Structure formats: C-alpha cells, structure tokens
C-alpha cells in the first residue's frame, strides 16, 4: 500500500482475504485445539488474531496466508497457556542459583512429592491412634538423628525460622548481636528489620570488623533474652577482623544461667547451613549444623534449599523445651509448610541418613564432580557441534570456575571446564537460547557464550547441543 490510486480497493481486497470465524473453527485442527483449550478460548483467541490482522492491514500490511490460520491459532494458544514457571537448563555454573530456583531436587525427593500430592496422606493423621496427628512430626525424627538435636521444627524458609524463634523467645526483650553480623539477605531483608518485626530489641555490640566475647559479656542485663550469631553466608570479611567463637559464647551463657538463673538462649543462624564438610572439595570451611549444636548453641536455624539440597524450608533444631515453645507460637501456623515440602525434605534427609548424599543429591553431586568428568562432558559437546555450526562460529573448551551460589561460601569457586562458543552478536544469541523450550541460561564473556557442565544435569546433555544447533541455524 503505497498511497497510489486504487489504494482503497487494495486494502479492501486484503480485508476480504481474512477468514470467517466459523470457517476456521470448523477445521480439523481447530476442533483438536478446542479439545485441549475449550471452544470458548479458541474462538476468543481467533477473534483477537483477526482483529490484530485487521489493524495491521489498515496500517499497510498484507493479509496473512489464508492457509496459515490454524497454525497461527495453535501457536498463539500455546503461548497464552504456557506456564509462567518453566523448567530450564542452568549452564551458568552457579550451583545454588537463587534466580533459577536454587537446589534441584533428587530423584527420590521428586518421587516423594508425586506420591504425596497425587492422593491423600497422613499429613495430620496418627495412623496408630486413628485420630488427629501433627504435620510437625514429619521429618522431625530424621533431623534429630542426623544433627544430634533434641527436637526439630520445619517452617517455610530460614528468614521465617529466625523470625519465629525471635518472636517466640525474645519478644519485648533484648537480643545481642555483633555489628559485623547485621547482614542484609536476598531481596533486601535485613536482620535488624527481622528483629524489630519479631518484637525483640536489638543490642549491637563490637565494631563492624572486630567483636569479642567481652563485648557480649558487657551487654548482659536482666533483660537479655538471647545472644544471636548470624553467619555471614553471603559476604566475607578479611584482614583485621575478629568474632567470638560459638563455644566461647555458649560457656559465657551457661555461666550466666548458673549465677542468675534467667531464661537466656544462644541462637545460631547459619543461613545456608550444611550437614557435610565442604573442605574435602576444595572449598572453605562452612560451619556445619552438627558442630553448632555440639559447640553449645541452644537453637540453630538453616535453609532447606541451599547446601542441604532439598525444598525451600527453614529448619529449627535444638533444645526440646525451646523448640516446643517455638512450635506453640501462633505464627508457627502461618509459617508452616505443606505436604509436598515435607515429602521432599524427608526424602532428601534420607539420603544423608544412608550416607548417599554425594550420589543422590544434585547439589552435592555438582560440588563433588571431578574436573576430568567435566572436561569430558564439555569436550563431548564440542565434538557434537563441530560439524553443525556455521562458519565464523568458534568452538573451544576453556578452563573456568563454578560458584556454589545461593549466599553460600562467598568468593569460593570450583575449577571447571567451559564450552566456549565464539560468535558475533553473543547477546542476541543468548537471548534466543532463553526463548527456547526449555530455555538455556549461559554466561557471556568476551563475545563468547560459556556453558558450564557442572550445573547441566546429565539428562540434559543432548538437549543443550540441540538448542545451540537450532539457534545458530537461524539467520
């Protein structure tokens, strides 16, 4: 449509090429779509597409090919009904990737979720007594056995666990915290804010970089409810720094209890928390839950979906009378978890109980993956793609580093091997990979797309090269 004489007649001709709604709906493909999406949805979507086509014709575009309407309708319906939460391939090398769903679940955990969700369960039913039970009993014995704690409680996440402990045990009283541990966690949530919301009063001691046991001792008053240690999971201080040992704080509090008899507790917020030693895998030492309890912490809180490798949850373990007090708090109901979370958590903990965490839990399989295995997988990808990518696209295997992520072990990396794909317009290629089904998320460095096999699940090994072939097959 160029504005020449006869333009109006041409536009009208294009309008006449648009099909009638009934004609498209009578097609075999439209009938099949109606069986999936419902007749009303198919008809409504078709009307939207026709209206968009009319608008486009009015702006000078040609009408779509008359035979293309069933396919256009199918594509639009599929896009409209696509879930906003989609599985993807994490090729970034960040193991516990907060933006990508944190820890992938083990096969046993996935099976447990399916079995718990597909029918009824004894979530709050005592099978022995034939009467009402408690969801808090699930995973409780496992956490006791694995950590050595007297009791355990599961809530929705670790921030919820910290909040609930403070609200139940410290509301209206003082909680002593080192200034160097007044951290901000993901999403802008800050420990001082959590404390205030719980009703406890914050007492800061020490300095940003150095706090000693004597600072805590000097802060003790009849109104002190707790000492709170917050593990700096997502940052690290180096240089002229000091913080009191947990055992030192525990001894101080025991002496205080003997002399004063007041209810004062030592709370250790480990953040990520781990049940396995991280050092054998070339990582810095991360405090273990069992060690915190052995050192004298009354209560320890940690996450379920980070280094534990399970579902999102906040775990509270420690002295029975304290855990029971927390369990009875009204907010415990608001922060409780559902049957699927409990099923996944229990299955994950069973792997630890059997000594099979390294083999069965994806996070620990990734952490423990030998470099030679990662090099082999990256080389296999390169070999599969060598003859398929267009001229001008470079393929190489580079040495690189993976990160644990998820606010765990800040600054710590693991050696890896990266498939490096050198190309023009790397950003647009990465965007095209994100639009794939499943999406593929990678890193970009010096005009190269980087793919780390450490975080690509073995069953995805064939999917990643296929996605690259498809993306580079387009102009």
What pLDDT digit, counting tens, does each position of 410-443 carry?
Answer: 778 999 999 999 999 999 999 999 999 999 999 9
In the prediction, which pLDDT does 410 show?
78
In the prediction, which pLDDT does 296 show?
95
**Contact call for residues 397 and 379 (beta carbons, < 8 A):** yes
DSSP summary character for residue 61: P
pLDDT classification of 181: cutoffs 50, 70, 90: confident
What pLDDT digit, counting tens, does each position of 312-334 carry?
Answer: 999 999 999 999 999 999 999 99
What are the structure tokens assigned to 134, written together? 């408690």
pLDDT classification of 243: cutoffs 50, 70, 90: confident
Q: How far apart are CA 299 and CA 162, in angstroms?
A: 10
Neighbours of 187 (CB within 10 A): 7
In the prediction, which pLDDT does 475 show?
55
**Contact call for residues 395 and 382 (beta carbons, < 8 A):** yes
Q: Is the dihedral of CA 359, 361, 364, 366 positive or negative?
A: positive
What pLDDT digit, counting tens, does each position of 344-361 carry?
Answer: 999 999 999 999 999 999
* pLDDT above 90 for 259: no
CATH 3.90.1150.180 in the chain: give the residue spans. Answer: 89-96+365-473
In the CATH hierarchy, which fold is given to the domain comprising 89-96+365-473? 3.90.1150
In the prediction, which pLDDT does 5 show?
47
| Closest-CA residue to 259 (of 295, 301, 217) | 217
In the prediction, which pLDDT does 234 show?
65
* pLDDT above 80 for 241: no
CATH 3.40.640.10 in the chain: give the residue spans. Answer: 107-360
| Closest-CA residue to 56 (of 1, 117, 115) | 1
In the prediction, which pLDDT does 266 show?
96
Give the predicted TM-score (pTM) of the model. Answer: 0.89
pLDDT classification of 10: cutoffs 50, 70, 90: confident
Q: What is the number of alpha carbons within 13 Å of residue 422 lying toward its C-beta?
A: 8
What pLDDT digit, counting tens, does each position of 435-466 carry?
Answer: 999 999 999 998 999 999 999 999 999 999 99
In the CATH hierarchy, which fold is given to the domain comprising 107-360? 3.40.640
* pLDDT above 50 for 6: no
pLDDT classification of 1: cutoffs 50, 70, 90: very low
* pLDDT above 50 for 2: no
List beta partners, residue 416: 400
CB under 8 A, 24+ apart: contacts of 185-193: 185/159, 185/233, 185/234, 185/271, 185/407, 186/98, 186/234, 186/407, 189/159, 191/162, 191/230
In the prediction, which pLDDT does 283 show?
92
**Contact call for residues 320 and 348 (beta carbons, < 8 A):** no
What pLDDT digit, counting tens, does each position of 23-81 carry?
Answer: 899 889 999 999 999 999 999 999 999 999 999 998 889 999 988 999 999 999 998 99
pLDDT classification of 235: cutoffs 50, 70, 90: low
| Closest-CA residue to 227 (of 187, 257, 186, 207) | 257
Q: Which residue bears the tokens 């765990």?
A: 408
Annotate 66-86 with b (16+ C-beta within 10 A) or e (fewer).
eeebbebbbebbeeeeeeeee
pLDDT above 90 covers what percent of the chain?
Answer: 74
Q: How far apart are CA 380 and CA 382, in angstroms?
A: 5
In 368-441, where do the E strands start and end? 394-405, 408-422, 440-441
């Amino acid at each position: 449509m160029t504005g020449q004489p006869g333009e109006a007649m041409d536009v009208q001709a294009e309008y006449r090429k648009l099909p009638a709604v009934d004609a498209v709906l009578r097609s075999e493909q439209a009938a099949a779509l109606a069986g999936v999406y419902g007749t009303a949805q198919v008809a409504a979507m078709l009307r939207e597409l026709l209206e968009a086509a009319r608008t486009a014709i009015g702006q000078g575009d040609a009408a779509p090919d008359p035979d293309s309407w069933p396919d256009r309708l199918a594509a639009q319906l599929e896009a409209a009904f696509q879930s906003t939460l989609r599985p993807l391939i994490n090729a970034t090398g960040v193991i516990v990737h907060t933006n990508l769903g944190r820890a992938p679940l083990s096969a046993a955990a996935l099976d447990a979720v399916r079995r718990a969700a597909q029918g009824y369960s004894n979530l709050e039913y005592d099978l022995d007594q034939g009467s009402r039970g408690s969801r808090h009993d699930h995973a409780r014995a496992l956490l006791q056995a694995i950590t050595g704690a007297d009791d355990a409680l599961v809530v929705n996440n670790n921030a919820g666990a910290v909040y609930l402990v403070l609200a139940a045990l410290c509301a209206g009283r003082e909680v002593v915290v080192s200034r160097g541990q007044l951290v901000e966690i993901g999403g802008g949530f800050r420990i001082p804010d959590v404390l205030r919301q719980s009703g406890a009063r914050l007492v800061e001691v020490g300095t940003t970089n150095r706090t000693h046991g004597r600072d805590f001792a000097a802060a003790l008053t009849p109104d002190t409810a707790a000492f709170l240690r917050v593990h700096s999971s997502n940052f690290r201080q180096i240089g002229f720094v000091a913080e009191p040992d947990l055992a030192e704080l525990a001894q101080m509090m025991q002496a205080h209890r003997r002399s004063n008899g007041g209810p004062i507790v030592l709370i250790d917020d480990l953040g990520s928390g781990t049940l396995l030693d991280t050092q054998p895998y070339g990582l810095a030492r991360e405090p273990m839950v069992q060690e915190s309890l052995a050192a004298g912490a009354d209560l320890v809180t940690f996450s379920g979906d980070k280094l534990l490798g399970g579902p999102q949850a906040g775990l509270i373990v420690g002295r029975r009378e304290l855990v029971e007090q927390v369990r009875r708090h009204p907010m415990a109901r608001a922060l409780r978890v559902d049957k699927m979370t409990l099923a996944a958590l229990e299955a994950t903990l069973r792997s630890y109980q059997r000594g099979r965490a390294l083999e069965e839990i994806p996070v620990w399989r990734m952490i423990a993956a030998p470099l030679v295995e990662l090099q082999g997988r990256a080389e296999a990808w390169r070999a599969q793609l060598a003859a398929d990518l267009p001229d001008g696209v470079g393929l190489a295997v580079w040495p690189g580093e993976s990160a644990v992520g998820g606010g765990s072990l800040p600054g710590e990396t693991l050696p890896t091997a990266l498939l490096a794909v050198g190309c023009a317009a790397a950003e647009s290629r990465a965007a095209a990979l994100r639009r794939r089904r499943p999406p593929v998320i990678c890193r970009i460095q010096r005009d190269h797309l980087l793919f780390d096999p450490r975080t690509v699940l073995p069953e995805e090994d064939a999917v990643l090269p296929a996605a690259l072939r498809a993306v580079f097959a387009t102009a």
